[in-house]
Amino acid sequence: MALVAGALPGVSADAATPASGSVSDTAPTTTWSGGPFAVPNVSGTTGTVSCGDPQLCDDYALKVTVPTGYDTGHSLRIDIKWPDSAADFDLYVLDSSGHVVAASASSSDPETVLLPAVTASYTVRVVPYAPLGDGFTGTAGLVTDPADPPPSTATPPTYADSSAPDSIADAHNAGEPSIGVDRATGAAMFQAYTSTLKVTYDGAGTATWQDKSANAAGGCPQGSLTSLDPILFTDPATHRTFESQLAGKTALTCYTDDDGETWTPTGGSGINSGVDHQTIGGGPFAPGGPGALTSYPDAVYYCSQDIADASCAVSRDGGLTYGPAVPMYSLLDCGGLHGHVKVAPDGTVYVPNKGCGGNQAVAVSEDNGLTWTVRKNPSSTPGDSDPSVGVGAGGTVYMGYQSSDGTARIAVSHDKGRTWLYDQNVGAALGIKNIVFPAVTAGDDNRAAFAFLGTTTGGDYQDTAGFKGVWHLYVATTYDGGQSWVTVDATPTDPVQRGSICTGGTTCGQDRNLLDFIDVTLDAQGRVLVAYADGCTGACATGGAQNYDALASIARQSSGNTLYGAYDAMVAGKHKKTEGGR
């Protein structure tokens, strides 16, 4: 769904019933309704919402009156909901000047935004994107923010950054990067569009980047074709790396067992796989059901989104062929887009989703992908970036997500997503107001890392004209099972973006250079490696204008305890940036 940034001048809209309302610290809630609507308003798919006959919108004037300082510990929460889950409405909040200050334009029901609880006047605009004859109910209320535990007292780890040299074809075309590590050789495998890159580190931490792309010369003629969604996965137990390019309702997939020296073509995906947001993962088979058909011991999962649902298919022969794709959920349960599939040591499969009935959730399979259950985190609110999960050695699940207010939150489950603990904002101590692209990994059961791009600037980070934030790569780490986290800036002297970052898909302009996600993984010693696209290079990195790059980059842990306690204190000291620079 389209997200609109900046002002929306010169548009007309219908009035809600009632047309206006107010909230205060003594009267904290107000409600209204609108519709029914018969005509969809999809004008936002072109980049700007318009509100006029026949493409109507619905406006509600909201006044907030609170004492000075009330926003410390309180937020303004606005929800819209409707009867038919198959319908879809979008929510925008405009300030007194007509600028969008918050938006929720996903496929979630309800749509939710969170704003600081300050005295202000707003226009709450509801757009019937796909109303199906429905109306909606709106609620605005002042809510108490959940209290976060104190940050971890652990020594913060540090990170050294390296980037692909310009001699690599897709060095500057690495939006939506993915990463895996062959724990037998230590090589990091990095996907940048249709290029697969091999990154090795010497004893001093210096990185060497090589192009090992899947192509006809290496045995994979379909590997370097134009892709709708590239993805890479390395199985940490078998050391096999899969490289896949999305092509409609199929995937052009190959694998390598020798870090890209040779490649083997595969069937790619199951029938009837989806058209968007592909992901590949793998791990042990769950006990009690059919397992491997060949000597390859692990299951391989291919998941993707279609128009009305999202599905996963499982391979029992090492990724050569896949069974039929099984729906994980429909649009009546969750929004179509999902995060990356992860497999627990006991074979439980997790696929996270940013919007399932007003919460973020995981789709879970405990029978090797035959059936799926959606399990929500009730403390969460929907976000604009896909959430991510990491699974510890004992099965503890860590789900990192972008909340409705843009902040970085993570929660922990010890029962496969049925209940969640320690949900907290891990960016508060550093003043981080907005994040995108959550990515989570875990090692020992009580250790995990949560990477994301973040900025200390609040407001609508998708306002192309008005947002002036500076973004960095951050990594939060827990050593006590998610009860507390220590968060560090992994690119403290080198911003990865200046200004807006658009997560609205094809409606975005040039500020979609980073696309939709980053990735994180571990090496054999538990070092954290974060794959990201650096969008601010050259003069931009030292204060110049944003240049909208997408340079293939890795932040590799260079000091501090790793995510495997057995290797504590073995990580070398700080290393400088190498190869290609930024």
What is the per-residue pLDDT across 500-511, written as a single tens digit (0 to 9) for each? Answer: 999 877 778 889
Q: Which pLDDT belongs to residue 580?
A: 43
Per-residue pLDDT, averaged over 523-527, amounts to 97
Closest among 477, 475, 482 to 563, alpha carbons compared = 477
Q: Which pLDDT belongs to residue 13?
A: 55
pTM: 0.89
Q: Which pLDDT belongs to residue 576?
A: 40
What is the per-residue pLDDT across 448-457, written as a single tens digit (0 to 9) for each? Answer: 999 999 999 9
Q: Which pLDDT belongs to residue 451?
A: 98
Residue 528 burial class via C-beta count within 10 angstroms: exposed 0-12, middle 13-18, buried 19 and up: buried
CA atoms within 13 A on the CB side of 496: 35
On whether the CB atoms of residues 320 and 268 are closer than 8 A, the answer is no
| Residue 8: band (very low, low, confident or very high) from pLDDT cuts 50, 70, 90 | very low
Model confidence at 345: pLDDT above 90: yes
Model confidence at 6: pLDDT above 50: no
Percent of the chain with pLDDT over 90: 77
Q: Which pLDDT belongs to residue 47?
A: 66
Model confidence at 84: pLDDT above 50: yes
Query: Topology of domain 14-144, per CATH?
Result: Jelly Rolls (2.60.120)
Domain boundaries, the chain: 14-144, 158-567
What mean pLDDT is reported for the chain?
A: 91
Rounded CA-CA distance 340/336 in Å is 13
| CATH number 2.130.10.10 given to 158-567 | yes
On whether the CB atoms of residues 471 and 462 are closer than 8 A, the answer is no
Closest among 344, 399, 340 to 366, alpha carbons compared = 344
Q: Which pLDDT belongs to residue 110?
A: 87
Q: Which pLDDT belongs to residue 44?
A: 77
Q: Please state whether the peptide bond connecting residue 18 to the residue before it is cis, i.e. omega within 30 degrees of 0.
A: yes
User: Which distant-in-sequence residues (6+ apart) come within 8 Å of 268 by Cβ?
Assistant: 244, 250, 251, 252, 253, 302, 322
Q: Which pLDDT belongs to residue 335?
A: 85
| Residue 1: band (very low, low, confident or very high) from pLDDT cuts 50, 70, 90 | very low
Model confidence at 342: pLDDT above 80: yes
Q: Which pLDDT belongs to residue 190?
A: 98
Q: Please state whether the peptide bond connecting residue 272 to the residue before it is cis, i.e. omega within 30 degrees of 0.
A: yes
What is the per-residue pLDDT across 406-436, written as a single tens digit (0 to 9) for each? Answer: 999 999 999 999 999 999 999 999 999 999 9
Per-residue pLDDT, averaged over 213-217, amounts to 92
Residue 86 burial class via C-beta count within 10 angstroms: exposed 0-12, middle 13-18, buried 19 and up: middle
Q: Which pLDDT belongs to residue 438?
A: 98
Instruction: Name the amino acid, one letter, at 11.
Output: V
Secondary structure string (H, E, C) spanning 429-445: HHCCCEEEEEEEEECCC
Per-residue pLDDT, averaged over 193-198, amounts to 96
User: Which distant-in-sequence residues (6+ apart) come within 8 Å of 403 by Cβ?
Assistant: 114, 380, 381, 383, 409, 425
| Residue 570: band (very low, low, confident or very high) from pLDDT cuts 50, 70, 90 | low
The three-class DSSP label of residue 531 is strand
| Residue 225: band (very low, low, confident or very high) from pLDDT cuts 50, 70, 90 | confident
Per-residue pLDDT, averaged over 467-477, amounts to 97
| Residue 298: band (very low, low, confident or very high) from pLDDT cuts 50, 70, 90 | very high
| Residue 100: band (very low, low, confident or very high) from pLDDT cuts 50, 70, 90 | confident
